[in-house]
Chains A and B, each alone.
Chain A
Amino acid sequence: MKPEMYGADLQGKREATGGHRRRAEVSGDPAVHEGRDEAGTARAGEAPRAAGAAIEVSHLTKVFGGRTAVSDVSFSVAAGEVFGFLGPNGAGKTTTVRILGTLISPTAGSAAVAGIPVGPGGAAEIRRRIAVMPESPGLYRRLTVAENLEYFARLYGLPRREERITEALAAVGIAGRANDLAGSLSKGLRQRAALARSLLNEPAVMFLDEPASGLDPVAAHEVHGLIAGLRDRGVTVFLTTHRLEEAERLCDRVAIMSTSLRTIGRPEDLRAELFAASLDVTVAAALPEPGRVFGGLPAVQGWKDTGQPGGSPASYALTVSDVARAAPAVTRALVAAGADVLSITRPRHTLEDVYLELVADTEGSQR
């Protein structure tokens, strides 16, 4: 670990959580970072090509007894990327992390982490270059925070242990709690201590499994700040979560799992891919003949009354081919029909909408 690694407090990056657009912006060739091919066609599922892949997964499958936990999953994660791995409970997220973290063997398929194939020959080398922070902070409750970190520093065979421990604790803002028993800390502080432990070996790839699980909003916000700080230091972060706002806020790309990979890409691309362009229209009173108003507009492909029957104001959802052309045309048509227009808005689909669209059916069928 270079002393300057933690020169700037990771906490100081707390507000940089919007920075996941940064990598696309700094590239001289936006197509490279946006995953476009030579013809300019978006390929949202592909990792940015500017840096080498930190994680490569090909047809990964894991079967426990007769139960398939992970089925034929393939994806890659670029070096320095914050990659979100989403899915409901039992979707195979933790199993995938455990395979990539060399804890369990895949039943089929292959993977490489930090350029090293996952398997008996490369496991030891991979372990030197990664850190895994499981959902539970995994601290020895009867040892102090410093003793916890010292144990791991010794297992990694690190030189200058005391210095590194001090730096790691300072980086996550708990230098003053070094001599507290880990069992006496709040859950938020334990998460920070676990993150400090994960920083000790300067990992190239860090696996964070539900890092904000069970934390109150303030503590979760702090953990998000720490993750943003990791990205700014070039650490590849593999973040498994089912907190969708967390993924949307922090991740360059996300993959949605439900045993098999359902989709992968940038959150905004996934939204565009899954949901047709639409407009929400609200008028003061129900239109007497909405079909005549909306049906004659070329940019409008379909419409649906979304208001309460006979209710006021009235609402309509329009499916449009092009929002920019449709919005003025709809406005003019409504005015011509004598309607009092209250609002015409473009609904913003969240990652949650994407998630529910892809996963809800699977979850429902399992219950």
Chain B
Amino acid sequence: MSPSIARVGAVIRKELAELRRNRLIVVTAVMLPVIFLIGPTATVLSIKASALSTTLDKRVDYALFMPLMVSVLVPAVMSAYSVVGEREQGTLEPVLTTPVTRAELLFGKAAAVFIPAAVLGYLIFGIFVAITQLAAAAPVAAAVRHAPQLPAALVFIPLLAAWAIWAGLAISTRVSDTRVAQQLAVLGSLPPVLLAALMSFQVINPSFALVVALGGALLAVDCGACLVVARLFDRERLITGTRPSRGVPAPPQDIRSPMS
């Protein structure tokens, strides 16, 4: 059966409506960006024009790293709810007996988190940069404007969000409690942040080539994670928590393949 854009659209639409009305998700999606915007912005605005260049660099590095966390934490919390929320409400079974395919369901759910997560990630960065350019001392504003982490962030925001989504979805398929899923998803979303941190704090110099290489590597990891999650989205596994049965005594008319 060929994938149906209409069904993917239906899943996205439903997911967004549910997320919008989930108080915990809404609070997370509002509070985290605000926190990760206020901290770095205040830091940058507090730097005096006369500050030593090393002090300036350190603070700008910190300020440019923190907003990246929004691109990880918000989608992790959202995607962790995605399957376990269905399981808690008992909606998984009726949905899986409709013609929706696992690819449609998976990409619908992923897109419904990716869209707001990427928008929030860019928005927070945009607001941070705009405020610093308008209100920070001239040398500080220039340091932010010319920081190599700025273009790197443009590449890493969607890639980090994608990783957090796959990690959240993978955990969500295996856990039966929303809060546990969200806590585990936050932990699971953090490893790639290490790369971003190393670049942000210039432990490794974020040259154009390095950004492209690391971006490519993260993209490959995201693709691999997508394939893993696609396997976890098997109907039988989602419903029973076990793998589809294989290799049991010779039946009269055997049907062994999973139905997806």
Most A CB within 10 A of own CB, among B6, B94, B252, B253: B94
Residue B39 at the A interface, CB < 8 A?
no
A-side contacts of B248, CB under 8 Å: 61, 63, 107-108
Residue B91 at the A interface, CB < 8 A?
yes
Closest to A64 in B: B242
Residue A130 at the B interface, CB < 8 A?
yes
Which of B15-23, B60-68, B137-145 sits within the interface? Answer: B15-23
Closest to B104 in A: A155
A-side contacts of B22, CB under 8 Å: 142
Given contacts A64-B245, A65-B242, contact A139 B97 (CB under 8 A): no
Chain A positions 42 through 65: 1 when the CB is less than 8 Å from some CB of chain B, otherwise 0: 000000000000000011011111
Residue A98 at the B interface, CB < 8 A?
yes
Among B17, B94, B100, B259, the residue within 8 A (CB) of A120 is B259
Residue A105 at the B interface, CB < 8 A?
yes
Given contacts A59-B251, A141-B89, A197-B94, contact A103 B236 (CB under 8 A): yes
A103→B239 contact, CB < 8 A: yes
B-side contacts of A137, CB under 8 Å: 90
A108→B90 contact, CB < 8 A: no
Among A64, A132, A157, A194, the residue within 8 A (CB) of B97 is A132
CA distance A137 to B94 in the complex (A): 9
User: Whole-angstrom distance from the CB of B177 to the nearest CB of chain A?
Assistant: 17
Closest to B21 in A: A142
Closest to B1 in A: A124
Residue B98 at the A interface, CB < 8 A?
yes
A-side contacts of B239, CB under 8 Å: 98, 103-104
Chain B positions 225 through 252: 1 when the CB is less than 8 Å from some CB of chain A, otherwise 0: 0000000000110011010110011111
A-side contacts of B260, CB under 8 Å: 120, 123
Which of A28-36, A146-154, A288-296 sits within the interface? Answer: A146-154
Interface size of B by CB at 8 A reads 46
B190-205 CB contacts (< 8 Å) to partner A: none
CA distance A133 to B21 in the complex (A): 25
A-side contacts of B252, CB under 8 Å: 58-59, 108-110
Residue B257 at the A interface, CB < 8 A?
yes
B-side contacts of A201, CB under 8 Å: 98
A-side contacts of B1, CB under 8 Å: 124
Residue B174 at the A interface, CB < 8 A?
no
Among B90, B242, B249, B259, the residue within 8 A (CB) of A134 is B90
- By size class, the interface of chain A is 35 or more
CA distance A104 to B256 in the complex (A): 10
A136→B90 contact, CB < 8 A: yes
Among B100, B240, B245, B251, the residue within 8 A (CB) of A155 is B100
Closest to A100 in B: B97
CA distance A104 to B255 in the complex (A): 11
B1-28 CB contacts (< 8 Å) to partner A: 1, 4, 6-7, 9-11, 13-14, 17-18, 21-22
A-side contacts of B245, CB under 8 Å: 62-64, 104-107
Residue A127 at the B interface, CB < 8 A?
yes
Given contacts A132-B94, A138-B91, A155-B7, contact A105 B255 (CB under 8 A): yes
A-side contacts of B253, CB under 8 Å: 58-59, 109-110
Residue A156 at the B interface, CB < 8 A?
yes
A-side contacts of B18, CB under 8 Å: 140, 142-143
A143→B14 contact, CB < 8 A: yes
User: Whole-angstrom distance from the CB of B18 to the nearest CB of chain A?
Assistant: 5
A140→B91 contact, CB < 8 A: yes
Residue B103 at the A interface, CB < 8 A?
no
B-side contacts of A131, CB under 8 Å: 97
CB-based closest 4 A-B pairs: A108-B251, A136-B90, A154-B10, A110-B253
**17 residue pairs from A and B, CB less than 8 Å apart:** A61-B248, A63-B245, A98-B239, A102-B235, A104-B259, A105-B258, A108-B251, A124-B101, A127-B97, A138-B90, A138-B91, A138-B92, A138-B93, A138-B94, A140-B91, A152-B98, A155-B7
Apart from A105-B245, A109-B251, 12 more pairs, CB < 8 Å: A59-B251, A61-B251, A101-B93, A103-B96, A105-B236, A109-B255, A138-B93, A140-B18, A142-B17, A147-B14, A154-B10, A154-B13
